[in-house]
Structure 1
Amino acid sequence: MSTSKKQGVTTGSSGKGGNRGLLKWFVGAVVAVVALGFALAGCSRVSTRPDEVILHYAGGTFEAIAFERCINPSSGATLLGPGDTSYSYPFGQRTFDFSGSEDSESRPISIVSKDNVEMQVAGSATFTLNTDCRTLRQFHERIGLKFGAYSKDSGSSSSGWDKMLNFYFKQPLDRAMDAASQEFEWRKLFNDPAIKQQWEQRVGQLARQFIKETAGADYFCSPNFGGTGDCGDVVLTIQKPEPPESLVNALAAEQAAKAENIAQAQRNAKVRTELESIKDLVGVLGPQGAVLWKAIQDGKVEVIPVPQDGNITISPRRR
Structure 2
Amino acid sequence: MGCSIANPTSSEVSLQYGAGPFDSRKFVECETARDVSDVNDDHYYYPSGQRDFTFGDGEGLDAAALTSTTQDSQEIKVTGTVKFTLNTDCAQFTDPTGKVWPGGKLQMFHELIAYKYEAAPTDGGEQMEEGWSELLRNYVGAALDRATDNEALKYPWQKLYTDTAAKAQWEKDVLEQLPDILRSLTQGVDLITINSVLLQKPGIQAALVQGLTEKQAAELRGQAVEVDKQAAASFPGGIVAYQQYQQQQAVNQAIKDGKVQVLPVPQGSPVIVSPTK
TM-score (norm: length of structure 1): 0.66
2:74 aligned residue? 117
Q: Taking every aligned residue pair, what percent have the same amino acid on both sides?
A: 31
Structure 2 residue 76 is the aligned partner of structure 1 residue 104:
no
Amino acid at match of 2:148: M
Aligned equivalent of 1:148, options 102, 118, 132: 118
Pick the structure with more helix per residue. 1
Q: Kindly indicate whether structure 1 or structure 2 has the higher relative contact order, using CA contacts under 8 Å at least 6 residues apart.
A: 2
Distance in structure 2 (CA, Å) of the matches to 1:122 and 1:264: 40
**Residue in structure 2 matched with residue 69 of structure 1 by the alignment:** 29
Tell me, in whole angstroms, the C-alpha distance in 1 between the residues paired with 2:114 and 2:46.
Answer: 9
Contact conserved, 2:69 with 2:152, CA < 8 A, in 1? yes
Structure 1 segment 16-95 matched on structure 2, within 5 A: 39-40=1-2, 43-72=3-32, 75-76=33-34, 78-95=35-52
Shift of 1:132: 1.1
Q: Distance in 2 between matches of 1:100 and 1:130?
A: 29
2:85 alignment partner, SS class: strand
- 8 Å CA contact 2:233–2:239 kept in 1: the answer is no
Provide the residue aligned with 1:256 in structure 2: 217
Cα distance between partner residues in 2 of 1:162 and 1:277: 71
1:309 counterpart residue number? none
Name the counterpart of 1:189.
Answer: 160
Within 5 A, what are the aligned runs for 1:219-258?
219-221=191-193, 233-258=194-219
Task: Report the number of matched residues.
Answer: 230
Verify: 1:161 aligned to 2:132, yes or no: yes
Q: Distance in 1 between matches of 2:21 and 2:211?
A: 68
Query: 1:48-93 deviations in whole A, cap 9, x for unaligned?
Result: 2111111111134433111111110xx23x3221421111111111
Deviations along 1:101-122, whole A, 9 cap, x unmatched? 4221012211111111111121
Equivalent residues of 1:220, 1:234 under 8 A apart: no
Structure 1 residue ranges without an equivalent (≥5): 1-38, 222-232, 280-317
> Are 2:4 and 2:40, in contact at CA under 8 Å, matched by a contact in 1?
no
Q: After TM superposition, give the deviation of residue 187 of structure 1 in Å.
A: 0.7
How far the C-alpha of 1:213 sits from its partner, in A, is 1.6
Alignment-derived partner of residue 170 in structure 1: 141
C-alpha distance after superposition, 1:246-265 (max 9, x if no partner): 31122112101211122123
The structure carrying a bigger strand percent of its residues is 2
Output the CA distance in 2 between the equivalents of 1:238 and 1:184: 15
What is the Cα deviation at residue 166 of structure 1? 0.4
1:136 aligns with 2:103: no
Gaps of 5+ in 2: 91-103, 241-266, 269-277
Q: 1:208 touches 1:234 (CA, 8 Å); kept in 2?
A: no
Match of residue 202, structure 1, among 167, 173, 178 = 173
Distance in 2, matches of 1:274 and 1:59, equals: 94
Counterpart Cα distance in 1 of 2:184 and 2:227: 58
Helix, strand or coil: the match of 2:147? helix
* Post-superposition offset of 1:211: 1.3
Q: Distance in 1 between matches of 2:196 and 2:56?
A: 15
Based on CA coordinates, which of the two structures has the bigger radius of gyration? 1
SS of the counterpart of 1:215? coil
Distance in 2, matches of 1:277 and 1:101, equals: 59
Query: What TM-score do you get using the length of structure 2 for normalisation?
Result: 0.75
**2: CA distance between counterparts of 1:165 and 1:45?**
28
Q: CA deviation at 1:98?
A: 1.1
Q: What's the secondary structure of 2:56's corresponding residue?
A: coil
Question: C-alpha distance in 2, partners of 1:44/1:142?
Answer: 25
